[in-house]
Chain A
Amino acid sequence: MWGVAAGAVGALALWRLHALGSGRNPDVVTGGWLLLSVLALALYGARRRLRVLPLGPASAWLALHVIGGVACVGLYLVHAGLAWPSGAADQALAALFLVVFVSGTVGHLLQALLPIRLTRAGDEIIYERIPAEIARLRAQAESTIVEAASACGHDTLGTYYAQSLAWYFDRPRFTLQHVLGTAAAQAWEARKLAAVERLLDPRERASLAGLAHLCRAKRAVDVQYALQTLLRRWTYLHAPAAAAFLVMAAWHSMAAFVYSR
């Protein structure tokens, strides 16, 4: 399929050269093909909505979307060349095209790389269940504190939890660090748990070990949250930019066609 796409773009480029050589304006034709290709790319979004219909596997549609997207870059270059356009409308169009292409490329890479990281992180969880899981871990942590206090009569661990650890169980933390794959969260946990150890009696230390266990579980949730959020959020740039691009492309096509007469 890549070969077919490359061949089509190459053929159009050759035709354009030929047309220029014979004194014709090829831009309406190259622009028309570019518009058609872009509309074809938009069909992938439509296919995702028509899930009930047997329109072939979504993986094939995505593959065509990716190949077509790259081919559109070639078509764009054939149509508009490398120079940045000078008119405001054309600049907006070119900028949107760039945003769509770059965000799509980044998204494609994220979809190739992040699933493996998610699998290696372990503790698979459905994204919409993350809040409930955090609430569960938080409740377990709080009950650990209460048990520790009633067992030994000190509130040291409880006070420390409120001061330093409750923040961690409040919501997902270290999101950026988890996206980048650093061990910042692990280091933070180790530091916080070690800081209070000398103040605790043996029973509280057992509870601290339980808290450490919960911190590890929380970290696993945070990794899932960070990576799954990124897998969702990139579409918040790609899809709206593509929608705006389609509007601008339709406008540009209409205006260019009419003004070419």
Chain B
Amino acid sequence: MAPGGRPAAIVGRLARWDVPFGADMSDAIVDALLERPEIAAIRADRFPAGVPLRGILRNDARIVTLSPGEIAVREGDYGNSAFLILDGDLRVVLPPGLPRETLGRQTPRNAGWLATLARALRPSPKFPETRDVGAAAGAAATAADRDPRALTFLQDIPAILDRHRSVRLGAGEIFGEIAALGRVPRSATVFAETPSRLLEIRWQGLRELRRHDPGWRRMIDERYRRNALLNHLQAHAFFASLDDATLASVAAAVRFRTYGDADWHLQHRRGRDAPPAGADHAADPIDDEAVIAGEGGPADSVYLIRSGFARVSCIVGGGRRTVTYLGVGAQFGLAEAHTAWRAGGEVRLSQTLSAIGQVDVLRVPFRVLAEHVFPGLREVPPPYATQRRYEDDAFVDWLIDERWINGTQTMLIDLDRCVRCDDCVTACAATHDGNPRFVRHGPVSDHWMVANACMHCQDPVCMIGCPTGAIHRHELGGVVVINDDTCIGCGTCAASCPYDNIRMVEIADRSGTPVVDEAGKAVRKATKCDLCVGQPGGPACVRACPQDALRRTGGQALLLHGVEGVRR
């Protein structure tokens, strides 16, 4: 019986490794892997009983074979796994990378019109949150099985090697860990030069290896810093003209630092859930932010944001005013450092750069800039400034303090236009088998509401800790989605989301009978907005609003709502 004495449909509860990453990983294969030097060096006794090394290899890894020319990973794709080369040679294509058409870049595969029409005419299930229970336990593909790289070969390898710079990778080397652990797109294309065998490790397994083995942790962290650093430097226009040797010397001088708190999302939730303190309310959040470079300090470096967000602020009167925020790829201090170089003397910073949450920063020293960058720099971006009125600061500060800036598809509702008709919610439900995936409420500033809908964050912290990889980045566009079939209902993602945008629901079968496990406990699934990925027309909520009150937005565009924005 289900809770409440109702009859129930009983199913086996999904566990973490019920759906292994690779169906063909046998004991013999695992035994052979354990003999390899990279894995033999791992001390299995450091792994907990519940997550043994053997189990990780058996369930969180799989063997991938590649023919010459076959692409292992493509630049720009979102990936959830890293690769250890077992045999063969692969090539990493250096910037500027291969042309899009060479990569066989997929165009987004939305459902066709006929399928959508059939779906529109099909009546929604009568009961909420129903599932086809028979198919639920362990069937269907994970995102990893829908392999976007599998179907593209590079035709003329010698010509490609001739025209594009590349680096060879051989047996024992690892690649792809940055994208897997950092939840960011692949930074380069890697293809097989010779017949190759790879061990593909999904990021959950990589996380465990890094967590429990010091050798792998050191290796991953060093590679992370080294390769990410080079890639990141090259992404900036003022380094683009440097040759490899110069860039390497610049990289050697760069300091990599992390500011702020890795558990910012947990702190943010705790702070939000605490009752308001009244007259002695907590200090302005800006005062608690770790300072990266302070106003009045020497303009002796350029700071590059590697990941996360940072706030640019300046003293105004008796307080500190937010000028703007910076995200991945932004720089701070270039204008002032250049001024100092031209003037031949010391210049003071006119603004403060501080960490919002946790931010990784690359610090490029003045001497490197003076030697390699400034002499050839044609165009210097001006310092950050704003033309906002003071009264508009509240909105910008609210966006930053509440961390809405993390979202790339934040649901913003203009309450001065919204007639509260719930057409958006009804449309969302119609697109998801009768189940809405957001709640039309949320914090309000002036006439803007940020609704309780997944924002598809730049850094989706909800993915941290998912034991099965059910929550992952869709290969089309990087939208964060949940594979309902492999979700085991642990609730980790829901607990991690700083914005409460993931909801756990108790499921039923098509007749409305609650589904329980053998112990009689209700089976739950994590659910959230999936941006209607794969549906033609984009998010149904936006299309359905008759007043144009609802929009999905992110980045600097978020700041522009209701304010003049920031002059760069």
Given A51-B544, A54-B116, A58-B544, A126 contacting B419 (CB threshold 8 A):
no
Q: Are B418 and A115 in contact (CB under 8 A)?
A: yes
Residues of chain A with a CB closer than 8 A to B547's CB: 59, 62, 111, 115
Bound-complex Cα distance A118 to B535 (A) = 33
A43 to B242, CA, bound (A): 61
B20 to chain A, nearest CB (A): 35
Identify which of residues 415-431 in chain B touch chain A, using a CB-to-CB cut-off of 8 Å.
415-423, 426-427, 430-431
Contact of B415 among A52, A115, A232 (CB under 8 A): A115
What distance in Å separates the Cβ of B301 from its nearest Cβ neighbour in chain A?
Answer: 45
Given contacts A231-B419, A231-B420, contact A53 B546 (CB under 8 A): no
Question: Could you tell me if B117 and A53 are in contact, using CB atoms closer than 8 angstroms?
Answer: yes
A52 x B419 contact (CB < 8 A): no
On whether A50 and B420 interact (CB within 8 A), knowing A124-B415, A126-B440, the answer reads no
Interface membership of B563, Cβ < 8 A: no
Instruction: State in angstroms the CA–CA spacing of A126 and B440 once bound together.
Output: 7
Collect the chain A residues with CB atoms within 8 Å of residue B449's CB: 124
Q: Using a CB-CB cutoff of 8 Å, which residues 169-202 of chain B contact chain A?
A: none
Tell whether A54 pairs with B441 under 8 Å between CB atoms, given A115-B415, A115-B416, A231-B419. Answer: no
Nearest A residue (CB) for B449: A124
B421 in contact with A231 (CB, 8 Å): yes
In angstroms, Cα B423 to Cα A61, docked, is 14
Complex formed: what's the CA distance from A111 to B426 in Å?
19
Nearest Cβ on chain B to A242's Cβ, whole angstroms: 16
Q: How far is the CB of A105 from chain B (nearest CB, A)?
A: 15
CB < 8 Å neighbour of A62 from B427, B447, B546: B546
Q: Does A57 contact B (CB under 8 A)?
A: yes
Q: How far is the CA of A134 from the CA of B419 in the complex (A)?
A: 22
B444 near A: Cβ within 8 Å? Answer: yes
Inter-subunit contact A58/B536 (CB<8 Å): no
Distance from A113 Cβ to chain B, minimum over Cβ atoms (Å): 10
Q: Answer whether residue A116 sits at the interface, using C-beta atoms and an 8 A cutoff.
A: yes
B221 lies within 8 A of chain A by Cβ: no
The residues in A between 212 and 261 inclusive whose CB is less than 8 angstroms from any CB of B are 228, 231-232
- B536's partner among A54, A57, A122, A127 (CB-CB below 8 A) is A54
Task: Please report the C-alpha to C-alpha distance between residue A58 and residue B373 in the assembled complex, in whole angstroms.
Answer: 52
Residues of A within 8 A of B546 (CB): 58-59, 61-62
B329 proximal to A (CB < 8 A): no
B120 at interface, CB cutoff 8 A:
yes
Q: Is the CB of B420 within 8 A of A118?
A: yes
* A125 part of interface (Cβ distance < 8 Å): yes
A32 CB, nearest partner CB in chain B, Å: 29
| Complex CA distance for A52 and B534, rounded to whole angstroms | 12
Q: Is the CB of B426 within 8 A of A51?
A: yes
B383 at the interface (CB under 8 A from A): no
A54: contacting residue among B415, B444, B537, CB under 8 A: B537
Say yes or no: is B548 at the interface (Cβ < 8 Å to chain A): yes
Which chain B residues lie closer than 8 Å to A231 at the CB level? Answer: 419-421
Known: A51-B430, A52-B540, A59-B547. A119 touches B119 (CB 8 A): no
The answer, among A48, A111, A125, for a CB contact under 8 Å with B419, is A111
B441/A126 in contact, CB under 8 A: yes
B residues in contact with A59, CB < 8 Å: 545-548
Q: Is A179 an interface residue (CB 8 A)?
A: no
Tell me how far the C-beta of B188 lies from the nearest C-beta in chain A, rounded to whole angstroms: 35
Interfacial chain A residues near B419, Cβ < 8 Å: 111, 114-115, 231
Q: Within A90-134, which residues are at the interface with B (CB < 8 Å)?
A: 111, 114-116, 118-119, 122, 124-127
Chain B residues in 8 Å Cβ range of A48 = 423
Q: A48-B423, A53-B117, A53-B120 are in contact. Are A58 and B543 (CB under 8 A)?
A: yes
Q: How far is the CB of B509 from chain A (nearest CB, A)?
A: 23
> Chain B residues near A114 (CB, 8 Å)?
419
Give, as a whole number of angstroms, the nearest-CB distance from A190 to chain B: 24
Q: Which of A52, A114, A116 has the most CB of B within 10 A?
A: A52
B94-130 contact mask (Cβ, 8 Å, vs A): 1 or 0: 0000000000000000000000110110000000000
A124 touches B444 (CB 8 A): yes
Which residue of B is nearest A54, CB measured? B537
Q: Are B420 and A57 in contact (CB under 8 A)?
A: no
Name the distance in Å between A11's Cβ and chain B's nearest Cβ: 29
| Residue contact B447 to A51, C-beta cutoff 8 Å | no
Query: Which residues on the A side are within 8 Å of B116 (C-beta)?
Result: 52-54
CB contact between A57 and one of B417, B421, B548 (< 8 Å): that residue:
B548
Please, which residue of chain B has its CB at the minimum distance from the CB of A110? B419
Instruction: State in angstroms the CA–CA spacing of A62 and B421 once bound together.
Output: 13
Residues of the B chain whose Cβ atoms lie less than 8 Å from the Cβ of A52: 116, 119-120, 427, 430-431, 535, 540
Interface residues of B in 238-252 (CB under 8 A from A): none
Q: How far is the CB of B423 from chain A (nearest CB, A)?
A: 7
Contact between B415 and A119, CB atoms less than 8 A apart: yes
Chain B residues, Cβ within 8 Å of A61:
546
Residue on A nearest B119 in the bound complex, by CB: A52
A112 to chain B: closest CB distance in Å? 9
- Roughly how many angstroms separate A148 CA and B475 CA in the complex, as a whole number? 60
The residues of A that contact B427 with a CB separation of less than 8 Å are 51-52
Q: Is the pair B120, A124 in contact by a Cβ cutoff of 8 Å?
A: no
Please name all residues of chain A whose beta carbon is closer than 8 Å to the beta carbon of B540 when the two chains form the complex.
51-52
Which residues of B (523-549) have their CB < 8 Å from a CB of A?
Answer: 535-538, 540, 542-549
Determine whether the beta carbon of A228 is less than 8 Å from that of B544.
no
Contacts of B415 in A (CB 8 A): 115, 118-119, 124
- 3 nearest A-B pairs in the assembled complex, by CB-CB distance: A54-B537, A51-B427, A52-B120
Since A53-B120, A116-B416, A127-B422 are in contact, a sample of 10 more A-B pairs with Cβ atoms closer than 8 Å, ordered by chain A residue number, is A51-B427, A52-B535, A58-B545, A58-B546, A59-B545, A59-B546, A115-B415, A115-B417, A115-B547, A126-B440
17 contacts between A and B (CB under 8 A): A51-B120, A51-B430, A52-B119, A53-B120, A53-B537, A54-B535, A54-B537, A58-B423, A59-B546, A59-B547, A115-B419, A115-B549, A118-B420, A124-B444, A124-B449, A125-B441, A127-B420
